[in-house]
Structure 1
Amino acid sequence: MLLENKTAIIYGAGGAIGSALATGFAAEGASCHLVGRTAATLDATAEKIRADGGRAETAVVDALDAAAVNDHADAVVRESGGIDISVNVITQDAVFGSLVDISVPDFANSMAELMTSQLITTKAAARHMIARESGVILFFGGSDHANKVPGLGNVQISFDAVEGLRRQWACELGPHGIRVVTLLTGGIPETFPDIPETEPARQGIIDGTLLGRAATLSDVGDVAAFVASDRARSITGTQINISCGACGD
């Protein structure tokens, strides 16, 4: 197994992406700590993992509460000896629309929430990983500089901001043997509500790929497990493109 004897913390594990990541890690042998604000969704993910023979524990923690995040990370380390993998897929309440029409406070508050969460959770993991001189920190979403879709508000801007954070973490943590990687996706249709109104967006994602299909949640988990494993030990400071060709070079 790729992640046998590894310990992973997944923030936002109750959501579709977080659940896919946790499932992928657990399938490869990792002990997964599922973190979020809603016990019911975390428990559902944990039960699925355990039913498949994996290991999962849950914790209700607000990723905007630095003290709570650090206390949880410390508890994981006391229990398991360290943190090998950390990933935060918690998203903010995105603001859609034309930038000229968006409220400045709405835009700023949304961005601040996202970046604060990412900074808090990464700092918590990095503190322990530096002590061990090893670890993998994953980000999700990625930055597509060719994107020219109007009306996205701060959505693509948020991805770009997180990428800036990822680049800085990669250069600062690299000397400590810690890898920092982003999974770049052009969108996962499975995460959209299965209602007629979302069909054009889901089909648009598929039509924009080179393979005629979009990445699935299973793909997300499988690729993340590989990237987090020692098989990918030479990969850091970059994006891994899982967009099926939608995001080109």
Structure 2
Amino acid sequence: MTTRILQGRTAFVTGGSRGIGAAVARALGEHGADVAVNYHSNAAAAEAVTAHVIAHGGKAVAVQGDAGDAGQVERMTEQARAALGDINVLVCNVIGDTRALGALFRATGSVVDSLDRVRGVREVTTTALDAALLACHFVVPQMRRRGGGSIVFIGASGTHSSTPGLAEVSVAKSAQDALARSLAVELAPDGIRVNTVAPGLVPTDANAGPHQEQMIQRVEGATPAGTVTTVDEVADTVVALASDLGRRVTGVFVPLDGGRTLT
């Protein structure tokens, strides 16, 4: 049985049709929020998430668009506002093209040994920052009208540790961490809290494939708790930070990696 601790809130989740984003959107709806689910191309997956929210008594809308394009983000946030009202919970989940993650985990050598990986660091970082900055730019005015809100960035605990082959993600998410800290200070007078939830490896369809089991074994072997993080565990933490349970929490980095960042 779930609580309704987000009753009356309106959430916008970027990259909300699959994996972590979908789990977060479903959990927000289960706890009472109305939810706008951003997706890029998989309309059926987004509609399945909105149907879940509606089945749990909330309102939901799927909004298609590129989270890294200013015009499309403006359109999507306005569609969400028109359908559900002003947004006061924003979850920034987009990082870019996740199809390359398998190649990253199989990579050998330094990130500077290949021009493709050098370019990859720059491209992933730009995409992640654009998606976070644009969503905040267009949603913050809505939060101000509502007297406050909660922004949650989905980060990566690897920014505080080191995972071979994942420099692209670590650099991009490190930049996002810095953005979150800056916004936490800048937006605090508006009653807007900004926090980062930073899981370790989370098995999803985005990193599925023959390499996934190797990834899981590698991470479990290096993790004090001996387990990887699930999408539902990430979602539960987002719900807490978006609700009044986290009303005095801002500017924090919450690692969800079973203690790996401590080793």
After TM superposition, the score normalised by the length of structure 2 is 0.85
Q: Distance in 2 between matches of 1:212 and 1:110?
A: 29
Corresponding residue number in structure 2 for 1:76: 80
Contact 1:102–1:153 (8 Å) recurs in 2: no
Q: Distance in 2 between matches of 1:37 and 1:49?
A: 19
Q: Distance in 2 between matches of 1:46 and 1:130?
A: 26
Secondary structure of 1:137's match? Answer: strand
| 2:127 is the counterpart of 1:124 | no
Equivalent position amino acid for 2:77 in 1: A
Q: How far off its partner does 1:190 sit?
A: 4.3
Q: How far off its partner does 1:198 sit?
A: 1.9
Deviating beyond 6 angstroms after TM superposition, the runs of 4 or more aligned structure 1 residues are: none
Unaligned runs of 5+ in 2: none
| 2:111 is the counterpart of 1:99 | yes
Corresponding residue number in structure 1 for 2:181: 167
Corresponding residue number in structure 2 for 1:112: 126
Corresponding residue number in structure 1 for 2:91: 87
- Give the number of equivalent residue pairs: 249
Corresponding residue number in structure 2 for 1:14: 17
Structure 1 residues 168-202: Cα deviation after superposition (integer angstroms, max 9, x where no partner): 11111111110001101111134565544321211
**Mapping of 1:20-99 within 5 angstroms?**
20-38=23-41, 39-93=43-97, 96=104, 97=107, 98-99=110-111
Contact 1:181–1:239 (8 Å) recurs in 2: yes
Corresponding residue number in structure 2 for 1:231: 245
| 2:161 is the counterpart of 1:147 | yes
Q: How far off its partner does 1:221 sit?
A: 1.5
Contact 1:170–1:179 (8 Å) recurs in 2: yes
Structure 1 residues 92-124: Cα deviation after superposition (integer angstroms, max 9, x where no partner): 237745222232444323322221111111111
Go from structure 1 to structure 2 and tell me whether the alpha carbon gap of 1:117 and 1:144 turns closer, same or farther (over 3 Å shift): same
Alpha-carbon RMSD: 2.2
Go from structure 1 to structure 2 and tell me whether the alpha carbon gap of 1:52 and 1:203 turns closer, same or farther (over 3 Å shift): farther
Identity of aligned residues (%): 29
Range 184-193 or range 79-88, more displaced: 184-193
More helix by proportion, 1 or 2? 2
Equivalent position amino acid for 2:211 in 1: E
Contact 1:130–1:173 (8 Å) recurs in 2: no
**Mapping of 1:205-216 within 5 angstroms?**
205-216=219-230
Q: Distance in 2 between matches of 1:70 and 1:116?
A: 13
After TM superposition, the score normalised by the length of structure 1 is 0.90
Secondary structure of 1:154's match? Answer: helix
